[in-house]
């Protein structure tokens, strides 16, 4: 290969040892050796150790597999721990928040036994609709917004079908707790008994309609069946009523 006089005049210099070359390729070959020579003994030793420690392909595959298994197990444990923390945090935070910020006007027992009302119109509603829709109608009536009145029953969107009830102490403090199944059944039975009372009262008041209108008689009998056949100990019914409330 022939080089021009101008090309031969061009010099490529090594930045480390300053040695010059006419060809760039010669300089690049020199740089490899020069870099190695200028390294300290410690750097060379470390590089040799690291080269000898490099795992084979099969070893790398095995290491990656083991790390993947460990990661999956760790991720599962972290997820379970976070769920446990969230459950505990929500339970404690909600009750603590209620005790700090919500003073109910009356206690739950007083509200159920004295204040919860079932009107004649609620039984009339039962004649046309299902028992579940009627109970919802009664809940709507008894939980209407009233200025200055704080109900002793609460629920939160973060915890579906979980309710909190309150009893007031003699000192006027509110003590909230999670509603138990027995509390909910007591509330439903109270509504049920008051519906039965309205059923009897409506029949006495409208006895003359039974002789003149077979449709009214049929609706009344169906309402009685709806009322007497509902069970508050059945999980499906309780779940449906809770969702409504």
- What is the share, in percent, of the chain residues with pLDDT greater than 90? 32
Pairwise CA distance, residues 24 & 10, whole Å: 10
pLDDT of residue 39: 63
Q: Is the pLDDT of residue 177 over 70?
A: yes
pLDDT of residue 213: 74
Q: Is the pLDDT of residue 180 over 90?
A: yes
pLDDT (average), residues 74-81: 87
Indicate if 126 and 223 belong to the same structural domain: yes
Indicate if 41 and 81 belong to the same structural domain: no
Q: Is the pLDDT of residue 242 over 70?
A: yes
Indicate if 113 and 228 belong to the same structural domain: yes
Write out pLDDT tens, residues 128-146. Answer: 999 999 999 999 999 999 8
Write out pLDDT tens, residues 141-173. Answer: 999 998 889 999 999 887 778 999 999 888 878
pLDDT of residue 207: 81
pLDDT (average), residues 19-31: 82
Token readout for 180 is 């138990």
- Measured CA to CA in angstroms, residue 48 lies from 33, 41, 73 at distances of 16, 11, 36
Indicate if 47 and 86 belong to the same structural domain: no
Pairwise CA distance, residues 117 & 111, whole Å: 10
Residues spanned by the domain of 150 = 103-244
Nearest to 120 by CA among 171, 195, 53: 195
Indicate if 85 and 111 belong to the same structural domain: no
Q: How confident is the model at residue 245 (pLDDT cuts 50, 70, 90)?
A: confident
pLDDT of residue 166: 95
The pTM score is 0.59
Indicate if 165 and 66 belong to the same structural domain: no
Indicate if 72 and 117 belong to the same structural domain: no
pLDDT (average), residues 59-73: 81
pLDDT (average), residues 43-68: 71
pLDDT (average), residues 24-53: 68
Indicate if 109 and 125 belong to the same structural domain: yes
Total domain count, the chain? 3
pLDDT (average), residues 189-199: 93
Indicate if 109 and 230 belong to the same structural domain: yes
Residue with the larger pLDDT of the pair 67 and 44: 67
pLDDT of residue 178: 93
Query: Which of these ranges, 88-102, 190-204, 219-233, has the smallest mean pLDDT?
Result: 88-102
């Amino acid at each position: 290969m022939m080089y021009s006089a101008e090309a031969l005049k061009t010099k490529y210099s090594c930045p480390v040892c300053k040695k010059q070359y006419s060809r760039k390729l010669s300089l690049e070959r020199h740089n490899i050796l020069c870099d190695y020579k200028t390294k300290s003994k410690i750097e060379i030793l470390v590089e040799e150790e690291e080269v000898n420690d490099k795992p084979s392909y099969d070893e790398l595959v095995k290491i990656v597999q083991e790390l993947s298994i460990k990661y999956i197990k760790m991720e599962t444990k972290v997820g379970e721990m976070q769920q446990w923390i969230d459950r505990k945090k929500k339970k404690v935070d909600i009750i603590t928040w209620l005790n700090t910020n919500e003073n109910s006007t009356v206690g739950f027992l007083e509200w159920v036994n004295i204040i919860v009302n079932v009107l004649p119109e609620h039984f009339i509603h039962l004649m046309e609709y299902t028992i579940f829709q009627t109970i919802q109608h009664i809940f709507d009536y008894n939980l209407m917004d009233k200025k200055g009145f704080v109900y002793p029953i609460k629920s939160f969107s973060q915890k579906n079908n979980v309710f909190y009830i309150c009893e007031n102490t003699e000192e006027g403090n509110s003590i909230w707790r999670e509603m138990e199944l027995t509390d909910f059944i007591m509330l439903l039975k109270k509504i049920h008994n008051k519906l039965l009372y309205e059923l009897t009262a409506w029949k006495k008041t409208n006895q003359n309609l039974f002789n003149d209108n077979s449709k009214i008689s049929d609706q009344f009998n169906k309402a009685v069946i709806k009322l007497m056949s509902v069970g508050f100990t059945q999980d499906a019914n309780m779940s449906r009523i809770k969702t409504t409330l």
